[in-house]
Amino acid sequence: MDIQQCRLIADAVRASLARVRMTDAEVESLRQSVRTNALTDYEQDAHRFAAAYWERNFWKAAYFFGYEYRRPSVMSRLLDAGPTVHAVVLGAGSAADAVACLAWLDSEYPLQAVTVTLVDQSRQQLELARGIIGIACGFLQRAVFDIRYEQRRAGEWSLEPDSADLVLMSHFLTENRSEKEALVASVIAALKPRGDLIIIERERDPIWRDVRDRLALNGVTTHDVKPATEKFDLLAPALPDAHADMTPAYVRGQVPENKRLMELVRDYFQAWLGQSSDGLSGIFTPQAVYDEKPGIEPRITGLDAIRRYWDMHPGRQRDILLRVHAVTYSDTVSVCSFSGAFDTPKQHIAIQGAMNFYLDPYAGKIHRFAEYFGTVKTPLR
Enclosing H/E stretch for 192 = strand 191-202
Say if residue 350's pLDDT is above 90: yes
What residues does 322 pair with on adjacent strands? 340
Q: Which fold has domain 3-255?
A: Rossmann fold (3.40.50)
Which of 39-43, 49-53, 138-142, 198-202 bottoms out in mean pLDDT, i.e. has the lowest?
39-43
3-state secondary structure of 221: strand
pTM of the model: 0.86
pLDDT in tens, 156-208: 777 888 989 999 988 777 777 778 888 888 899 999 998 999 998 877 777 77
State the CATH architecture for 260-379. Roll (3.10)
Q: Where are the domains of the chain?
A: 3-255, 260-379
